[in-house]
Amino acid sequence: MESLRGDMTIRKRFVVGACLVATASFTACGPLFPSPPPPQVPTAPVDVRATPADAQVTVTWNRGTTGPAFNIYWSTSSGAGLSGTKIAGATNPFVHAGLTNERTYYYVVTAENGSGESAASAQVMATPSAYLPAVPTGVQATAGYHEVTITWNSAPRATSYNIYWAFSSAATGVLGTKIADVTSPFVHTELSPFGFYSYVVTAVNEVGESGPSVEVSAMPLIVLPPTPTGVHASPGNAQVTISWSDVSGAVAYAIYWSTTPGSGIFGTKIWASTNPYVHTGLINGRAYYYVVTAANTDGESPASEQVSATPSAAP
């Protein structure tokens, strides 16, 4: 059988009493699976900043800007824009070194992808100076319980330091939240233990502020309460009373129960509002098994040792 539909030809061949053999040939005007449309030209980078130092300027921009590549255009004349000297494939932050102190430099930044280059960002400027403080080095972030300790080396010509932080796996440099006039070590407290905190440090003196240090990150440690001890199960008529020793730092307790020994935390969970806790509605003559955990805002402790009891109607 042979048919023709539009500009596509389909041929089918049947072999009766044996197997079915099908062959097909196609003639079409375009591809059967068209390519996806090209990406849009990226938007211009925002939050561009230029931070001077001794014979150099550090250029940063918002890391949320789209584009696999970035370009910086610089000049010693204001308003040069895209006619300035191009630095292709710039990283964020970018340190423009080998500059002349006390001369002002002007910058714009663009983003670029396979579809083209964005418009220029807003112009920023900076004037390098030998009297500005050096960028802090040796920056480290060490995790503690609900806190992070940031340390760094003393920077030449610095009289104080600023820390910029963000709750993310990659901070936004000096666009992060600022903590001014700090000393090393600095302990950042009351933090959530369920994510990374990222930091950069700058040095400050009467002339101005240095560029940002390298970025460091740490995830605060959690503090789980200790495992409950002294767990006891006392049988009654169709009920079991479970008790335990109070745990320091616990804000709640969980009881896991089962009629199968060894179930542990895979048993049925009960949030216990009191100690002791009375487990009611049980079947007399059946054994019940229990473990207890202590909980705080970070989570639950390991399970206690298993205890068991068998309810009974007998006095």
Q: Residue 90 — very low, low, confident or very high, per pLDDT cuts 50/70/90?
A: very high
Over the stretch 248-304, which tens digit does the pLDDT of each residue have?
Answer: 989 999 999 999 999 999 999 999 888 999 999 999 999 999 999 999 988 999 999
Mean pLDDT of 36-50: 87
Domain boundary at 126, 158, 177, which? Answer: 126
Q: Are 183 and 114 in a shared domain?
A: no
Instruction: Provide the H-helix boundaries in the chain.
Output: none
Q: Are 246 and 211 in a shared domain?
A: no
Is residue 26's pLDDT more than 80?
no
Q: Tell me how many domains the chain contains.
A: 3
Is residue 10's pLDDT more than 50?
no
pLDDT value, residue 66: 66
Q: Are 66 and 122 in a shared domain?
A: yes
CA distance 166 to 63: 12
Under a CB-based contact definition with an 8 Å cutoff, are residues 273 and 301 in contact?
no
Instruction: Provide the H-helix boundaries in 233-278.
Output: none
Over the stretch 127-185, which tens digit does the pLDDT of each residue have?
Answer: 999 999 988 999 999 999 999 999 999 999 999 999 999 987 555 566 689 999 999 99
Is the residue at 224 inside a domain?
A: no
Q: Measure Cα distances from 298 to 25, 29, 216 in Å.
A: 64, 62, 24
Q: Are 144 and 213 in a shared domain?
A: yes
Is the residue at 297 inside a domain?
A: yes
Instruction: List 236's β-bridge partners, or say none.
Output: 239
pLDDT value, residue 194: 82
CA distance 286 to 138: 64
Is the residue at 19 inside a domain?
A: no
Is the residue at 131 inside a domain?
A: no
Question: Is the previous residue joined to 220 through a cis bond, with omega within 30 degrees of 0?
Answer: no
CATH number at residue 150: 2.60.40.10
40-54, 72-86, 127-141, 165-179: which range is least confident on average? 165-179
CA distance 189 to 290: 37
CA distance 46 to 6: 52
For residue 65, the enclosing domain spans 49-126
Q: Are 179 and 238 in a shared domain?
A: no
CA distance 117 to 42: 7
> Which residue type occupies 219?
M
Under a CB-based contact definition with an 8 Å cutoff, are residues 218 and 147 in contact?
no
Q: Are 153 and 116 in a shared domain?
A: no
Q: Are 238 and 263 in a shared domain?
A: yes
CB-based contacts of 305, cutoff 8 Å, min separation 6? 231, 291
Q: Are 214 and 236 in a shared domain?
A: no
Is the residue at 242 inside a domain?
A: yes
Q: Are 213 and 249 in a shared domain?
A: no
Domain boundary at 193, 218, 243, which? Answer: 218
Is the residue at 304 inside a domain?
A: yes
Q: Are 82 and 110 in a shared domain?
A: yes
